[in-house]
Amino acid sequence: MTKYLNVVVGLPVDGPFTYMVPEQYRDIVSVGKRVWVPFGRRNEIGYIIELLEEVKIPDEKLKSIKKVIDSEPIINKELLSLTKKIAEYYCNSWGESIEAVIPPGLKKGKVKLVPREKSEKIIPDDDFKKDFQLNKIQKKAFDSIKEKIDSSKHSTFLLHGITASGKTEIYLQSIREAHKMGKDCIVLVPEISLTPQACERYTARFKDKVAVLHSKMLNSHRFKEWQKIKEGNASIVIGPRSAIFAPVKNLGLVIIDEEHELTYKQEDVPRYDARKVAKMRAEINNAVLVLGSATPSLESYYKAKKGVYELLHLPERIRKRDLPEVQIIDMKDEIRKQRSHNPVLSIALQEELKKIIDNKKQAILFLNRKGFATYVHCIKCGYEERCEKCNIALTYHSGKNKLICHYCNFQKDVPEVCPRCKSSYLRKHGKGTEKVVSDIKKIFPEIRVVRMDTEATAKRGAHKQILDKFKKHEYDVLVGTQMIAKGLDFPKVTLVGVISADTSLNLPDFRAAERTFSLITQVAGRAGRGDKKGKVIIQTYNPEHFSIIASRKHNYEEFYNKEIKIRKNSDFPPFTNLANITFRGPKEDKVVSIADEVCDLFSKNIKSKKIEILGPAPSAISKVKNKYRYNIILNSKNVNDIIKVIKKTIGNTRRIKGVYIKIDVDPQNIL
């Protein structure tokens, strides 16, 4: 008989909040169920986190719950304590982070959870499709993972294997091992575009033991898969970052494929990084965590080098298939050759496209996502404007007609002539990529081109349709944003082109070089998956940049060694942690003054020199949907110091005088 209980709510408020339980509900309340509670002037959904026999507050001061929504808990104790940890780290409220865990339909209290009869559908193992015989190198990596799975000890592996080196085969066999031990597995994939092909391989092998979760699913469908997992009828879960919260009972193995991808960070409230959450969850459950990538994030590789993670290396492609030849095209020469100020397709790329048509093969052309910041560079010598202090590309702000470092707010005028070669060939760049499709059509009227970007795939299913048609060779060329840069496997693709490596190289972000390296490596991995050797063409004004040179040689180690030194010298992750605090509002002066006020408060609260404050500075994309945006970046060797000072300075305040405040711990994207 429970007379009182504590709930948290999905709002940026502390809590927990104590309520009385009316007589008729006292037998049915339990931890993890939802209840309706009066909250302020409204009713809110409360998540029960604790049942209480007695409380210090007198009854007449307490409100009563209105109703119990669920007949059984929607979140178990393990996930409850996990959400508490997440809330603390990412400066969310506990209730907010619970809402990351439950299916979206349940947040609004609409869908009801009814217990169903448990179905007895156990598939015998030999019904699964057969595994490949692992090669020696794969076997060695697999054995290390197997040993940890068998002994139920938590351990984190970084599986660094070039594209098509057989990583997925290792995942599949590790899953089988965990399955044999009666354990559940979660497999995270970066994006929905990967899921159709990825899922096929898992479902082909493990049939209906697999549950698939993804964000473009209808809520009702997603809910059904979720329930299948909760009832123990699926033991292998595949999905994007949110699948890390799948309600499996006996977690033994978590696999994060393409672990370097930014999509593992959830950018909206409740913010979390699925890699960090996976680590927390694996630790709680004594489960094994496998991070896999051809281009590991610098953070992960650094940890592996220090021995925090166990490094497994697959240096060769299966059947020794050659890596594609990567050719770097210096666009500075193309200006001269083509007598054009804005050449889109280099002559080499045009020639390769012609071969594609003649040989009835296919090509993928990659162009960067739209709406990025504008940078200034010299098309004669390749010089680009950077902040001396932060080593970040300066962003051109047309309103102020200035170049701005959006980390530290350093500002300068756009120079008249190039500071390096003294020519007048400084150009503003960042836009105009749609031109690619029309240019290709102009040069090759008979070519069948399809574009794939967020616009073209806004409709449910559009994505798969385009890919299916491309696979059937109904198109010759696929032009797309980075959503096509990963995972896809088309045997007829022998040519991959990157229209401009500079868009990522000049991102105003300290990870710009890392992203460029991984981008080129990933797209190169798309070429020549079939029997014919592939060709990759990278167009850039910066052919001497180390990230481009290393990626041409497919040499991660070389890239890492250079980049890690830069990070160390400029005090950026993995040597420090950052938090980005964004201020957003319709009036710029208001946004600035609130940001200044909060910045002063930070200075007061930060007693030691252990936390550096950068900004406030306008965001690289300083105005979005008519809202002005300014950032303050906190940088420290100790993330807990940052979290503490944020809690002390901002607490749960998310709005001051019409200015919205967003807190992002370990930001992956500071735009």
Q: Which residues bind ligand ADP (CB under 6 A)?
A: 132-135, 138, 161, 163-169, 318
Residue 435, CB half-sphere, CA atoms under 13 Å: how many? 10
Pick from Zn ion, ligand ADP, none: which does 567 bind, CB < 5 to 8 A by kind?
A: none
Q: What is the three-state SS of 202-231?
A: HHHHHHHHEEECCCCCCHHHHHHHHHHHHC
CB 650 → Zn ion: shortest distance, Å? 23
Task: Please pick, from the candidates 298, 390, 524, 642, the single residue that binds Zn ion as defined by CB under 5 A.
Answer: 390
By CB under 5 A, the residues from 10 to 29 that bind Zn ion are none
Contact 18, 57 (CB under 8 A): yes
Question: What is the CA angle 85-87-90, rounded to 5?
Answer: 105
Task: Please pick, from the candidates 408, 477, 501, 548, the single residue that binds Zn ion as defined by CB under 5 A.
Answer: 408
Task: Kindly state whether residue 378 participates in binding Zn ion, applying the rule CB under 5 A.
Answer: yes
CA distance 108 to 110: 5
CA distance 526 to 164: 9
* Cβ distance to ligand ADP smaller for residue 165 or 242: 165
Query: Residue 112 in 3-state DSSP?
Result: coil
CB 253 → ligand ADP: shortest distance, Å? 16
CA distance 33 to 235: 24
CB 311 → ligand ADP: shortest distance, Å? 16
CB 330 → Zn ion: shortest distance, Å? 14
Contact 100, 270 (CB under 8 A): yes
CB 168 → ligand ADP: shortest distance, Å? 3
Task: Please pick, from the candidates 110, 207, 337, 389, the single residue that binds Zn ion as defined by CB under 5 A.
Answer: 389
* Cβ distance to ligand ADP smaller for residue 10 or 166: 166
* Cβ distance to ligand ADP smaller for residue 142 or 572: 142
* Cβ distance to Zn ion smaller for residue 145 or 633: 633
* Cβ distance to ligand ADP smaller for residue 138 or 242: 138
CB 381 → Zn ion: shortest distance, Å? 3
Site map for Zn ion, 410-449, x if CB under 5 A?
A: x-------x-xx----------------------------
Pick from Zn ion, ligand ADP, none: which does 418 bind, CB < 5 to 8 A by kind?
A: Zn ion
Cβ-Cβ contacts under 8 Å for 466 (sequence gap 6 or more): 450, 452, 456, 457, 478
CB 377 → ligand ADP: shortest distance, Å? 34
Pick from Zn ion, ligand ADP, none: which does 169 bind, CB < 5 to 8 A by kind?
A: ligand ADP
Pick from ligand ADP, Zn ion, none: which does 407 bind, CB < 5 to 8 A by kind?
A: Zn ion
* Cβ distance to ligand ADP smaller for residue 8 or 172: 172
CA distance 525 to 545: 20
* Cβ distance to ligand ADP smaller for residue 165 or 503: 165
Task: Please pick, from the candidates 405, 484, 520, 661, the single residue that binds Zn ion as defined by CB under 5 A.
Answer: 405
Residue 386, CB half-sphere, CA atoms under 13 Å: how many? 15
Pick from Zn ion, ligand ADP, none: which does 487 bind, CB < 5 to 8 A by kind?
A: none
CA distance 258 to 162: 11
Piece of the chain touching Zn ion by CB under 5 A; list 15-23, 307-315, 400-408, 431-439: 400-408
Piece of the chain touching Zn ion by CB under 5 A; list 2-10, 360-368, 372-380, 644-652: 372-380
Task: Kindly state whether residue 383 participates in binding Zn ion, applying the rule CB under 5 A.
Answer: yes
Task: Kindly state whether residue 312 participates in binding Zn ion, applying the rule CB under 5 A.
Answer: no
CB 598 → Zn ion: shortest distance, Å? 19
CB 197 → ligand ADP: shortest distance, Å? 10
Pick from Zn ion, ligand ADP, none: which does 390 bind, CB < 5 to 8 A by kind?
A: Zn ion
CA atoms 598, 603, 605, 609: torsion sign? positive
Closest CA to 164 of 464, 475, 490: 490
Pick from Zn ion, ligand ADP, none: which does 383 bind, CB < 5 to 8 A by kind?
A: Zn ion
Contact 139, 225 (CB under 8 A): no
Cβ-Cβ contacts under 8 Å for 666 (sequence gap 6 or more): 265, 273, 276, 573, 577, 578, 579, 639
* Cβ distance to ligand ADP smaller for residue 500 or 521: 521
Pick from Zn ion, ligand ADP, none: which does 132 bind, CB < 5 to 8 A by kind?
A: ligand ADP
Q: What is the residue type of 533?
A: K
**Distance spanning both ends of the chain, measured CA to CA:** 52
Task: Kindly state whether residue 52 participates in binding Zn ion, applying the rule CB under 5 A.
Answer: no
CA distance 90 to 85: 9
CB 633 → ligand ADP: shortest distance, Å? 35
* Cβ distance to ligand ADP smaller for residue 225 or 257: 257
Pick from Zn ion, ligand ADP, none: which does 387 bind, CB < 5 to 8 A by kind?
A: Zn ion
Contact 14, 37 (CB under 8 A): no
Report DSSP letters for 556-614, one per residue.
HHHHHHHHHHHHHHTT-TTSSEEEEEEEEES-HHHHHHHHHHHHHHHHHH--STTEEEE
- Beta-sheet pairing, 210-212 with 236-239: parallel
Count of residues near Zn ion by CB under 5 A: 14
Cis geometry, peptide bond prior to residue 419 (ω within 30 degrees of 0) = no
CB 363 → ligand ADP: shortest distance, Å? 20
Cβ-Cβ contacts under 8 Å for 509 (sequence gap 6 or more): 392, 515, 620, 669, 670, 671
* Cβ distance to Zn ion smaller for residue 479 or 620: 620
Task: Kindly state whether residue 564 participates in binding Zn ion, applying the rule CB under 5 A.
Answer: no
CB 302 → ligand ADP: shortest distance, Å? 22
CA distance 141 to 138: 5
Q: What is the three-state SS of 243-310?
A: HHHCCCCCEEEEEEECCCCHHHEECCCCCEEHHHHHHHHHHHCCCEEEEEECCCCHHHHHHHHCCCCE
Task: Kindly state whether residue 613 participates in binding Zn ion, applying the rule CB under 5 A.
Answer: no
CB 101 → ligand ADP: shortest distance, Å? 29
CB 561 → ligand ADP: shortest distance, Å? 23
Contact 34, 44 (CB under 8 A): no
Positions in the binding site for Zn ion (CB under 5 A): 378, 380-381, 383, 387, 389-390, 405, 407-408, 410, 418, 420-421
